Amino acid sequence: MIRRDLRIDVTDAAGIGEPAHVALTVVLPDRPPQNPIICFAKPGGGYSRGYYTCDLPGPTSGAQADWHVARGWIFVALDHLGVGDSSLHAPEALTYTVVAAANAAAEGVVRDRLARGTLVPGYPAIIEPVTIGIGQSMGGCLTIVQQGRHASYHGIASLGYSAIHTHPPVRPGEPPIVAPWFARDTLTNAPPLNLTALARNIPGRRGGDAMAWGFHYDDVPREVVERDLAHFNRNIHDPASQSGAAGNPWNSLTTPGAVAQTCLTPGIVAVEAAAVDVPVLVAMGERDVCADPAGEPRAYRSAPSVDLFICPRMGHMHNFAGTRALLWQRIANFGDWVATWKEHHAHGE
């Protein structure tokens, strides 16, 4: 495999009045694929592109990027603006519009370099590939927004994110998590819309502890769960609270503020989801954050197909699960379908 870490200037696309760059990792097979599929992958809130490129601890092993590349894909994992190695900005500047535009611009540069054969010296040009966008949790949210606004892909997979209502579950019998709801035009210091529900929340509960049951299935070792979720026990939306924290290579101690603050609000990406007009895969774990999995296809009113997959013995953080390869295979199968759809669609069938 060939691996390249890049930083792409997206100052013009972001349009926030200061320099901006997106960090990403491109993983390619040693030999160029005959029927190329490029997968652009986006991480969730509190995570970086290492979620896809690292061999995450758990009951089994393997990195998602490597798994797909071993089967002929080109895999590109990104850090959103405000995440990981990408440039950091004021939380209120990192809106859905800004982050999606920056990601689209960075991916466009990668596609262009691959098409011209300049991304890796000596690597043949990648012509007319199938492009797929996938995103886990908040990354799924931003994949939906990007496709609805920029039509970047021939198919998308929303992994552990609901276009209708995303809400973290808790162990049966425990008090529910109450997430604040904000409108998309809300400034980061504005009060949430569901103050009455928030007033009934249990004070003193630490976020990571409350989310552990839904984020990781029972076969993930306790020490792995605690290590992964430690940063959620601080205020993930406040960079100052993460000062001095030791992050994991798959975590991000910063988030794109305006997006991270609002992405659990019901219907927050309803318009973009309804505008998606390519095949969609909605995939999640047996324990995950989609309030009504069977209802998800209704969100994608313009899509020619919407597939639903619920992976057994898997929590919200899919790539730690013992069944991670089963999910990856389902995504690969979806990629084959998208390639078939693209071919027939190009011929007007």
Q: How high is the pLDDT of residue 244?
A: 46
Q: Which domain holds residue 282?
A: 2-346
Beta strand 306-311 pairing with 280-285: parallel
Q: How many domains does the chain have?
A: 1
Rounded Cα distance, 193 and 320, in Å: 34
Average pLDDT for residues 181-207, to the nearest whole number?
Answer: 71
Rounded Cα distance, 308 and 304, in Å: 14
Question: Residues 178, 198: contact at Cβ < 8 Å?
Answer: yes
Token pair recorded at residue 29: 């097979």
Q: How high is the pLDDT of residue 110?
A: 98
Residue 234: Cβ within 10 Å count? 17
Rounded Cα distance, 270 and 300, in Å: 9
pLDDT tens string 145-180? 999 999 999 999 999 999 999 999 989 988 888 788
Average pLDDT across the chain, whole number: 92
Phi, psi dihedrals of residue 247, rounded to the nearest 5°: -85, 160
Percent pLDDT > 70 in the chain is 92
Q: What is the dihedral of CA 314, 48, 180, 318, to 10 degrees?
A: -10
Percent pLDDT > 90 in the chain is 77
pLDDT tens string 48-75? 999 999 999 999 999 999 999 999 999 9
* CATH number of the domain that residue 111 is part of: 3.40.50.1820
Q: How high is the pLDDT of residue 247?
A: 74
Q: pTM of the predicted model, to two decimals?
A: 0.93
DSSP string, 102-160: HHHHHHHHHHHHHHHT-SSTTPPP--S-EEEEEEETHHHHHHHHHHHHH---SEEEEES
What's the half-sphere exposure (Cβ side, CA atoms, 13 Å) at 336? Answer: 8
